[in-house]
A and B are shown apart, each in its own frame.
Chain A
């Protein structure tokens, strides 16, 4: 057992866990923050992505004992942070994913949305290639990524006042 203090979603939390436990295990099975998902436990899928000091990391590859001192943000932290900043409802990334249909089974999405959130914070003018690059560590098996990319473009557009993409099927009726 090893005692660590983790800063998660703004709170300092004391946890005791086996020394070899990863940040993902501690988040899920000690702190009950089960929004971070485990799809492979070895760094292949990205479902466990969380933000450490604003950067996306794979929580299944970070030892919990090494995460003390960093600001960790999980999917559960996005909405409260949005509220604290004066917003209401879900974080704009979460909301855009919901509106664009990006959430099918949803299992990849906490990690996906945190990767997207980090991109939005760092580079609000990102174009499609940068978005694809930023999400390339997060596997999704349901969507074919199309609606995910649309969601991120939509969230970016809404932040910067740009144009949100219109999917081809939504245009279809007007053409015909």
Chain B
């Protein structure tokens, strides 16, 4: 059986194609203005990688903030639901899932079957998500990769007062004027995002093992700050940004079976 999961996030669209329980194709594309169009292109990409025709796909499930924009989808599932299923599939021991993307953060408690037990989300304020680090790296004229790396070299923690990305930019500028090192600024920024994500995760409670997924999990500075803040280690899957799409594709399998 062939199914597909499409995750239409605020910044990027991800597609996973599953054939008999194995991932055979993937696609990723910037969401841009025309989500529907980008989703179509992305799906085509993934189908090509899997070496199949789009018409071979039995069932498509979409997820993500823009999931309703995908006309090809047979059905939809929330990000929280898709994250839970996808994570437990790749990391069966995971009981807590933390998903941090560019515009949102989620804390999810999951059962061994991949069911959502409890969840909390943090969205629509850039200060609590990955784009905060992006804005700050831009303010320091560094790439996001560099910015995340240098955080690890910081030797002290300085608190950021601003709780808003916009005001924080001015604060970063004054920190620079005060000759604070970029390393310390980077750590302050990552600590700030981490403390916001951590407080949300505490609302669902932490149960081992803790999986960290989403694009921001590639940022070592953030992972380090969050780990310190929550006093726990994480398991981070390889294809961390595809977990939502994978979850949707797995749900598509279930739903397809249910239909027969």
Q: Do A and B come from one complex?
A: no
- List residues of B whose CB falls within 8 A of some A CB: none
